[in-house]
A and B are shown apart, each in its own frame.
Chain A
Amino acid sequence: MNCTRAQENFPNLLDPRTPADAHADDRAHLASCPDCQREYASLARTLSALDRLPAAKPSPRLRAGFYAMLEQEKNSAASVQAAVLRHRRAARVSLWRWILAPLAAGALALGGFFAGTRYAPVPAPAIDPATKRELAELRAKVDGVGQLVGYTFLQQRSANERLQGVLTTLDQKNPDQKILANLVGALALDPSVNVRLSALDALYPHAGEQLVRTGVLASLPREQNPLVQVAMIDFIVAARDRNATPELERMSHNESIDRSVRDAAKRAIAQL
């Protein structure tokens, strides 16, 4: 047994995971060799100093950030869909129980989402007088840039078909103004949160278009769902739309609006 061989085995001897009775030859050499003892002792001292190095503690920021992120993920449309699927597959629990539980827990109102998916297929929604009036108002705002806002997707039967309608526009590199106007219409008027969020996603690449900017801004005051409201505010920041500042100011002071939305509005004002 020579020093080189014994020292090659030091990693095992120094590893607390190695059983005490293993490598008896090397241990025997170590017991009788002052050179190896010196080398071993200095390594062992360094390791023990390393093991005793106090662990730094994270600030409260880490925990706050984590739970905010978890909350956000739980409220994301994809997670909600997965939750619906899971509950449908398992035991066919009454959906109502599932819908009411998170509401009771103070979760976000996701009524729009369920309106769009739970009862599908639904008859083609007739455009009611209120929607017609809103459509007219929206047109009045957006027609300033010479575009007619329509909403042909509403003729589709189900939320999924409407969603597909929105998503097919994503494949088009240069959708024409009519398609963009339709997406604005979907954002403003579709009863499904899912469809509205998808429409907003589809509008992102066209944030530079006046029609799109005006349309998103015009849709913001009528939006009730915090998820979509925050997404719209993100859009406005991304589009650097300074015209939105007065509306954001108004929202940031409106106590009836969800706090997360008011905070998002405040942040947006600072960023614009």
Chain B
Amino acid sequence: MIATLTEINVQTRPSVVSLRAPTPVDTATDAISDHELMLAVRDGELDALGELFERYHGPLYGFLAKLTGHHAAAEDIAQTVFQRMLKYRHTYRDDGSFTAWMYHLARRCAADHFRKTNSAPAPTDPSDLQNHADEAPDASDRAARRDDHDLLHLALNRLDRDAREVLLLSRFQELSFAEIANILECSAGAAKVRAHRALKELRDIYLALQREGPARN
């Protein structure tokens, strides 16, 4: 009789929210692969997702921040990605790759986000997206570098979203082109061509901005 119970989705609304301290990362789980952890989540060991969160929320957020050009949007989307991992944990496959799956979900969530806000990423102050812990010893050097980062952020923001997405995926992430192609739902060859076209476009915008110099904005 319990078997029939499980087919009934009883709890669908947000219920108890308890903001307790984050679960400490168990060092004993370090050896466990992402894939094994996600299989455990799929089988109902939900705490295993905490370890995956600790491993990946940083890179995922970094990807989304560059993709959207927005802190708050990137956080919202990252949160949704982990939410969907939980919700759709049953669809994770035995032969799956966790990171490929995560970016696949991230792409979907980002697309939903853009559909909802119905806008290209709004241009933000690029310095807003900077990690200010810059390691350059000399202040003017640091400023010059930040300026350069700002230009690149601006250039990235001027690419269209598909181009930015394929370029970021091809560079920032530990993914094979086969996996990237899978995420983008195209062939590996097409993914490569698109990534390269995006790179050339970025280069042209970046160089143009550099020529404009400090008079920009």
Chain A contact residues, CB within 8 Å of chain B: 10-12, 14-15, 17, 42-43, 46-47, 49-51, 53-59, 61-79, 81-86, 88, 108, 117, 120-121, 158, 160, 163, 167, 194, 197-198, 201, 226-227, 230-231, 234, 258-261, 263-264
A78 to chain B, nearest CB (A): 6
A117-B2 contact given A67-B50, A69-B83, CB 8 Å threshold: yes
* Chain B contacts for A76, CB-based, 8 A: 10-11, 15
Query: What are 28 residue pairs bridging A and B, where the CB atoms are less than 8 Å apart in the complex?
Result: A14-B199, A17-B177, A43-B199, A46-B202, A46-B203, A49-B148, A51-B171, A55-B61, A56-B61, A61-B75, A63-B22, A63-B53, A68-B17, A75-B16, A76-B11, A76-B15, A78-B11, A79-B44, A117-B5, A160-B1, A163-B5, A194-B5, A194-B10, A201-B10, A227-B15, A230-B17, A234-B15, A258-B16
Q: Across the two chains, which residue of chain B brings its CB closest to A118?
A: B2
The interface residues of chain B, by DSSP majority, are classed as helix
Query: Which B-chain residue is minimally distant from A84 (CB atoms)?
Result: B2
Is there an interface contact between A11 and B193, defined as CB atoms closer than 8 Å?
A: yes
For the complex formed, measure the closest distance between the CB of A9 and the CB atoms of chain B, giving whole angstroms.
10
B99 to A: closest C-beta gap in Å: 15
**Does B4 sit at the interface, judged by CB under 8 A?**
yes
Docked Cα-Cα span, A61 to B36, in Å, equals 27
Minimum Cβ distance to chain B for residue A237 (Å) = 10
B188 CB → nearest A CB, Å:
11
Chain B residues closer than 8 Å to A42, beta-carbon distance = 203, 207
Contact A163 B130 (CB under 8 A): no
Residues of B in contact (CB 8 Å), total 69
With A69-B86, A79-B44 in contact, is A46–B20 under 8 Å at CB? no
B interface, CB within 8 angstroms of A: 1-6, 8-20, 22-23, 43-44, 46-47, 49-50, 53, 57-59, 61-62, 65-66, 71, 74-75, 78-79, 82-83, 86, 129-131, 133-134, 148-149, 152-153, 156, 167, 170-172, 176-177, 192-193, 195-196, 199-200, 202-203, 206-207
